[in-house]
Amino acid sequence: MTMKSRYYIIIGLLALVVLARCKQTFEPGLPSAETGYLVVEGIINSGSDATVITLSRTVPLNQKQTLKPEGGAILRVESSTGIFYNFVESKRGTYTGGPFNLPAAATYRLNIKTTNGKTYQSAFVEVKPTPPIDDVGWERTPDGLTVNVSTHDQANNTRYYRWDFEETWKYHADLESVLESTGTEIVTRRTPIYYCYRTTSATSILLTSTVKLTDDVVSKFLLTNIPNLSEKLSEKYSINVKQYALTKEGYEFWENQRKNTEQLGTIFDAQPSELAGNIRCLQNPAEPVVGFVSVSTEARKRIFLTYNQVNWQTSPITNCRLDTVSPKQALILFNFSPGFTPIKIPVRDLDPDRSGGGYLGADPPCADCRFKGGTTTAPLFWQ
């Protein structure tokens, strides 16, 4: 290499060092969007089931949490006939009332008083009876399994529908642990941690309209997809579908929100629009409030599916290594290390100096089903 070549290399390296040291975080300097607006979620159940309303506040985009629960508020449903129905706060930001069994002849609105002294009020809304769910079905596909719902209103009075659901499934850990530590010894496990139950709720806005149809019929509306090898069908799966009738205004609000949250991504998609609900702040009507209060009955239907029923295949066990240790080592590892769970005894091929047998152990995520977010207690509805 010539002296001139070395010179250019050194100059290039120095330039890179200078550029690296001059690197700074770019801040666009745009004003931050205002936050702290009230978010109201829930449907007033006019029938024989409880009503659950959640209150929260919007937060800045740079925060990890998306909503901040709003506790300490006072909620009441007000009838157009002057009757009030109260709520209690079951947990921070969650308010439960009823069953109210609201007469369909009246209209109703929601009143909210927050801890900062502000009062929020929805418009009076009519009661929309919800027709029963005809069927919750499923179909096996090359990619997995789809769950759908069908319903109809013979009187052609519903036309606008919304659904919500909860999925619960039984699953198992990759390896079964039959031992546990008392602190001084390893004994037979008293509470099994091989089988667990986990519940999640729908994350999409599910709604449709039959306005353009002659008959008020919904046939096999897609609720969710379960991909192949999902643990949801590794043992037993259940879905509880909830159906609500909406007014035209309620449907338009939720359709607008669905487009804003699900159909953005390219310049050809629907552009964001303001989510104008039916709730306002009495002290400041110009203050944005996110949410739409509807009043309807609730129709429910639950189904159960087993892996044999749908011809399901589970994913193979991966990254689960078994380690062999002596009783003394097992106790130390179990009590002081989060990376060991005793599986079973005995182990006969230990070294001669490890008298008294031994144990097989594995990482806790491999042997404890609770590491996947479930609980070992079966729900009351499980069968």
User: What pLDDT was estimated at residue 53?
Assistant: 98
- Contact criterion met (CB below 8 Å) for 168 and 198: yes
- Is the CATH number 2.40.128 carried by domain 33-124+248-293? no
User: What pLDDT was estimated at residue 338?
Assistant: 54
User: What pLDDT was estimated at residue 188?
Assistant: 86
> What does each C-alpha distance from 370 to 103, 146, 190, 377 come to in angstroms?
45, 27, 15, 11
Per-residue pLDDT in tens (0 to 9) along the chain, 383 residues: 443 343 333 333 333 333 344 444 444 443 445 678 999 999 999 999 999 999 999 887 666 666 799 999 999 999 999 999 999 999 999 999 999 999 999 999 999 999 999 999 999 999 999 999 999 999 999 999 999 999 999 999 999 999 999 999 999 999 888 888 777 878 888 889 999 999 999 999 999 999 999 999 999 999 999 999 999 999 999 999 999 999 999 999 999 999 888 765 443 444 455 667 999 999 999 999 999 999 999 999 999 999 999 999 887 777 787 777 777 776 766 665 556 676 765 444 434 444 456 778 888 888 899 999 999 999 999 99
**HSE of 338, CA atoms in CB hemisphere, 13 A:** 2
Beta bridge partners of 222: 148
User: What pLDDT was estimated at residue 64?
Assistant: 67
Long-range pairs, 224-227, Cβ under 8 A, ≥24:
224/146, 224/147, 224/165, 224/167, 225/143, 225/144, 225/145, 225/146, 225/147, 226/144, 226/145, 226/146, 226/147, 227/143, 227/144
The domains of the chain are located at 33-124+248-293
**HSE of 141, CA atoms in CB hemisphere, 13 A:** 12
User: What pLDDT was estimated at residue 320?
Assistant: 82
DSSP state of 381: T
